[in-house]
Amino acid sequence: MKKLFFSLLRGVFLLLSVSAFAQVDSPDALIKKMTDEVLIIVRHDKDIQNGNSKKAIELVETKVLPNFNFQHMTALAMGRDWNKATPEQKKRLAEEFKTLLVRTYSNALTGYKDQTVRFKPTKMQNGDTDVDVKTEILQPGSKPIQLDYSMEKLADGWKVYDVVVAGVSLVSNYRNTFNQEVRANGVEGLIQMIDAKNKQLEAGKK
C-alpha cells in the first residue's frame, strides 16, 4: 500500500508553489495559480527534467514549503502522541517532518512526464475557513489520479495541512509508523528516527 501511495504522490509537488506577494481570495484560485507557475518552471527547466535533484529540492523549498502548515501536518501525523511532546520537541518534529517530505517528494518534479491537471468545482460558503480543493492528475495512457488538498485559512492566508491521493491521506499514512516509534522509544526516539531517515535520503541523493 505504501509503495502505491508514494508512487501516486509523484505528482503532488508539481501542483504547488507560492509567491510572497500573491493575493488570491479563494483557496482553489490559489492552487490553480500556483499549479500553473510550477508547471511552467518544470516544463522549461531541462535540468529538473533530467533528474537534477538539487534544483528540484530548491524549487520545493522556495515555491512549495511556504504554502504548507507543517505544525498542523505533524500534529495530525502523530495523533494523540502530539500532546506528549514538549514545545521544543514539537518544533523539532515539525522541522524534521518537513525535511522528510521535501527529500521524499522532490523527485516528483524530476519525474514530470507531461501530466496535466483538471480542477473540480470547490464547495465553499462565505466565511468557511476549512475547505477541500479537488483536482485530478491526467497522465497519458493511465487513469486520472484523484488529488485533493485540505486547506485552512490562517492569518497569513490559506495553507495546506493534508494531501489526499486516491482517497489516502498523506498524514494518516505516517501515523502508524510514528505511533509505533513513540510507544517503543518515546518522542525523542521518533525525532531520531526521522532525522536518521533524512540523513539516509540526503546520502542517497549525493
Contact by Cβ (8 Å): 13, 106? yes
Q: In the chain, what are the domain boundaries?
A: 2-205
What value does the mean pLDDT of the chain take? Answer: 84
Least confident of 49-63, 88-102, 137-151: 49-63
pLDDT at 4: 53
- What does pTM read for this prediction? 0.81
pLDDT at 205: 60
Indicate if the pLDDT at residue 95 is higher than 60.
yes
* Fold of the CATH domain 2-205: Nuclear Transport Factor 2; Chain: A, (3.10.450)
Nearest to 27 by CA among 38, 39, 40, 18: 18
pLDDT at 126: 87
Phi, psi of 129 (to 5 degrees): -120, 5
pLDDT at 58: 87
pLDDT at 204: 67
Q: Is the dihedral of CA 194, 177, 59, 114 positive or negative?
A: positive
Indicate if the pLDDT at residue 109 is higher than 90.
no
Q: Which three cell numbers stand for residue 73?
A: 501536518
The DSSP line for 124-181 is: --TT--EEEEEEEEE-TTS--EEEEEEEEEETTEEEEEEEEETTEEHHHHHHHHHHHH
pLDDT at 23: 46
The tens digit of pLDDT for each residue in 10-61 reads 555 555 544 433 445 689 988 888 778 878 888 888 888 888 888 888 888 8
Identify the DSSP state of 117.
Answer: E
The tens digit of pLDDT for each residue in 169-194 reads 989 999 999 999 999 999 999 999 99
Crossing angle of helices 70-78 and 87-105, rounded to 10° = 100
